[in-house]
Amino acid sequence: MLEFAQAEHTDRETLFVEVILPLAIAKNYTYRVPYELNDSVAIGKRAVVQFGKSKLYTAIIAGIGKQAPEKYEAKYLVEILDDKPVVTHEQLHFWYWLADYYMCNVGEVMSAALPSALKLASETKIMLNKDFPVDRSTLHDKEFLIVEALDIQPELTVSDIVKLLGQKQVMPILKLLFEKNVINISEEVSERYKPRKRTFITLNPFYNDPDNRRELFGILEKKAPKQADAVLAYIKLSRQQKTISKNELIEESGAGAASIKTLIEKEVFIPEEKNVSRLYFEEEEAINNFELSEQQQEALKSVSDQFAEKDVVLLHGVTSSGKTQIYIRLIEEMIQTGRQVLYLLPEIALTTHIIERLRVYFGANIGVYHSRFNDNERVEVWQKVLNNEYKVVLGARSSVFLPFNDLGLIIVDEEHETSYKQFDPAPRYNARDAAIFLANMHGGKVLLGSATPSFESYYNARTHKYGFTELSERFGGVEMPLVEIVSIAEETKKKTIQSHFTSVLIADIQQALANKEQVILFQNRRGYAPVLMCKMCAYTPKCINCDVSLTFHKSSGKLHCHYCGYKEDSPTICPACGSTHLEYKGFGTEKVEDELSLILPDARIARMDLDTTRSRNSLQTILNNLEEKKIDILVGTQMVAKGLDFADVTVIGIINADSLLKFPDYRANERSFQMLAQVSGRAGRRGKQGKVVIQTYDPGHRVIKQVIENDYKDLYFTEMTERKSFKYPPFYRLINLDIKHKDPEVLYHQAIYLAKELRKHFGDERVIGPQAPLVSRIRNFYIQSILLKFEKDAISINKAKTVIRDTITQFQTTKLSKGSIVQPDVDPY
């Protein structure tokens, strides 16, 4: 990779640098260093270079050499932006590894890794930073000129500024302006992270004194009994919990918001706005009660012990078992040794106040890195990590790209979360896997934590590649929910089932509603009915692009394709035979919602799926309504399974578990299991016993049994190693490809050709497809993936990559295709 060694040099020599450009190009380019910059060049610094006819880019110096290139005349680099490298040698190593592993260009990795403010290019947009009004008299002439121009035209590109100043060297000026907070650089219009605020109430310490308090009551009881109630309620609540929100107080006391407001004005109550989260309640409790239980202590010790031998340990802890507390102890230990810690969380979890809590705990040592932070903030974190000012970084997947010097520990929380994998632009990396490589590079350790570990991590743990530790009890005496399996077949026979709801489920829902508790119903299909079928000729409308049956949506009255979004009007007569006997088969969330409202007309029912949450704030609104108890029953798809914790949800109903159980491949089965376990884990909190009702035609199904017994640890493993009846046995790897073409015919031929090539190299049994699985994966004019069978050491994924790479290159030269080929992506599962 780094072909040039760092050169010893004097002023007189001509130096050449090899730079990484933030573009999807296959190789690095060499530039000539002007004499006066000889002393400034260093690996990891940013250089501004002209690439192509007129474009300027910020590149990273990846190597320095003295040899002039033979085949071409190297251009001079324009300028060096940094005094000190902004990218470390380790990072460069990491970039190259990532590019190789995920089959993309280093430039693409660079693009993903650097905050955009560090990547000034000619088309980069410059704006005034409105948050920081700056005293303009302190600006130099040229800076002033830029600021004035921005007054007239709020958005300028770097090229505009080049024209404005009549000079090529503008980057250093812009860099300075950025550092002075005068300008913003290319801030994406993405939604800014808005923490959710809630008002908390504390009693003025003045009234902690018994005499003062008595006096207060004396006055209030006569003049304002409602206010007296509020104060009493506060005192009552303060015995049970540490923090009291305004809403809780209103509810407990029966006094109105006005009374509380008056008390605040009288300075009896002191309000405080705090960021709160609706997600991950367990974290709050975890950090408030900081005594490790016996089981936690054992788990902590077990993790530490295993780190002596293993680089990675999987911590499997059921929902609410208090994994966070173990993380905190480990972080503390690591900081004491002076090494850095990276705490990875899935995107959504980061909006929580776990950040706040950890700040309290670790002070200014902790940094947060988040895609919804703006660029100024991101660059700030970058610099502080580089300067070793942050010992702990809490971040989403992109924080694996931060310039760590000495990473001792990476915690990957909710290790199974798919949001760790980046899908859309290359590099299509999984931060969990990248983290393992990263830690390894630094000689650090990785702790993977999850209540429902991913298949592959479980496998690695069971084969002793990873260490393994378990937390099987909920923390703080919270009971596991009761799980009841109800046979749909039996209730149908006894005629006790109404629509899709068994008598057991209805009874539980009614009980919950009577107790003013809430219910979540899970149905893993959106829309009204997934299939429309002609009763006469069995015709079903299919998507013109994707060849899957179209789902009927009652809300739009149309048939939708859930793969590509194609829509058409729902026919009233069969297009094939003209019959009017069309039948909706199966059911989705829309139908569940519809029919439940007939059975329970008084219940307030809401639906949460992709259709109801598409618009900007709708998800927020639904969650708020649920929390404020404006919703009694929430019907939803997988969305309801993810991290939603509400104290008053006591009943979870799984309308039809079978839709989760009959998937043909292990990976889908893994997901079903996780889904069931995650949904079930939501029932009951804070002293309330939860209940899970699973409706199924197949009560004896293994997966269901495992859920009841909470014994899924063996499930994965047995599925992987023993069961032969699965269509795709273990050790198959899904290799994600990204071959694009507008003509599905061409794609089809490419798919077949690719499979043929792979067969030639790996033998018939190892390659699945192309006909069934591979071709069915052609969607939206992409070949998305191919399945390969990997038996332990039999073939390396690298060989497969090489073959795929070669074959795909051939596509461009053979008559097979005129299509453009996008970088393939190997999914390391």
Partner DNA sequence: AGCACGCCGACT
Partner DNA sequence: GTCGGCGTGCTC
The residue type found at 191 is E
**Among residues 65 and 571, whose Cβ is nearest to DNA?**
65
**Distance (Å, whole) CA 776 – CA 780:** 11
Instruction: Please indicate if the annotation marks 534 as binding a ligand.
Output: yes
Q: Measure the CA–CA gap between 366 and 350, rounded to whole angstroms.
A: 14
Please compute Rg for the chain using Cα positions.
30
Q: 354-362 vs 323-336: helix axis angle to the nearest 10? A: 30
Q: How far apart are CA 454 and CA 470, in angstroms?
A: 15
DSSP string of 12-66? TS-EEEEEE-SSS-SS-EEEEEPGGGTTT--TT-EEEEEETTTEEEEEEEEEEES
Edge-first strand order for the sheet with 55-65 is 29-33, 15-20, 55-65, 46-51, 79-80
If the CB atoms of residues 463 and 820 are measured against DNA, the closer one turns out to be 820
Give the DSSP H/E element, type plus range, for residue 620: helix 618-627
Residue identified by tokens 């048939």 is: 559
SS3 522: strand
Q: What is the tally of helices (H) and strands (E) in the chain?
A: 27, 32
* Least spacing, CB of residue 63 vs DNA, in Å: 12
Residue closer to DNA, measured from CB, 43 or 313: 43
Nearest distance from C-beta of residue 748 to DNA, angstroms = 18
Consult the annotation and say whether 546 binds a ligand: yes
- Of 696 and 817, which CB lies nearer to DNA in the complex structure? 817
Measured distance CA(504)–CA(486) in Å, rounded = 7
CB of 48 to DNA, least distance (A): 12
Q: What is the 3-state secondary structure (H, E, C) of 724-769?
A: CCCCECCCEEEEEEEEECCCHHHHHHHHHHHHHHHHHHHCHHHEEC
Binding residues for DNA, rule: CB under 7 A, are 23-25, 29-32, 50-55, 69, 72-75, 123, 742, 812, 818-820
In angstroms, give the least distance from the CB of 425 to DNA: 8
| Closer Cβ to DNA, 12 or 72, answer by number | 72
Which is closer to DNA, CB of 297 or CB of 820?
820
Residue (55 or 705) nearer to DNA, CB: 55
Instruction: State both tokens at 583.
Output: 């039948």
- In sequence order, the 6+-apart residues with CB closer than 8 A to the CB of 743 are 781, 819
**Can you tell me the distance from the alpha carbon of 667 to that of 676, in angstroms, rounded to the nearest whole number?**
14
Hey, what are 6's tokens? 């760092």
Residue (796 or 809) nearer to DNA, CB: 809
Backbone angles phi, psi at 667, to 5 degrees: -70, -40
CB of 30 to DNA, least distance (A): 4
What single string gives the DSSP state of each residue in 454-493? -HHHHHHHHTTSSEEEEE-S-GGGPPPPEEEEEEHHHHHH
Cβ pair 475, 686 in contact under 8 A: no
C-alpha span between 310 and 332 (Å, rounded): 20
* 71 burial via Cβ count (<10 Å: 0-12, 13-18, 19+): exposed
Q: With beta carbons less than 8 A apart as the criterion, state whether 407 and 381 touch.
A: no
Minimum gap (Å) between residue 767 Cβ and DNA = 27
How many residues are present in the chain? 829
User: CA-to-CA distance for 22 and 105, rounded, in angstroms?
Assistant: 9
Distance, CA of 94 to CA of 100 (rounded, Å): 10
Closer to DNA by Cβ: residue 53 or 239: 53
- The nearer residue to DNA, 72 or 602, going by C-beta atoms, is 72
CB of 429 to DNA, least distance (A): 16
Greatest Cα pair distance, the chain, in angstroms, is 97
DSSP SS3 for 569: strand
Between helix 171-179 and helix 141-152 the angle, nearest 10°, is 80
104 is in an annotated binding site: no
The residue (of 3 and 272) whose beta carbon lies closer to DNA is 3
Nearer to DNA, 222 or 742 (CB): 742
Nearer to DNA, 422 or 659 (CB): 422
- Distance in Å, CB of 780 to DNA, minimum: 16
For the annotated binding site, the residues are: 534, 537, 543, 546, 561, 564, 574, 577
For the annotated binding site for Zn(2+), the residues are: 534, 537, 543, 546, 561, 564, 574, 577
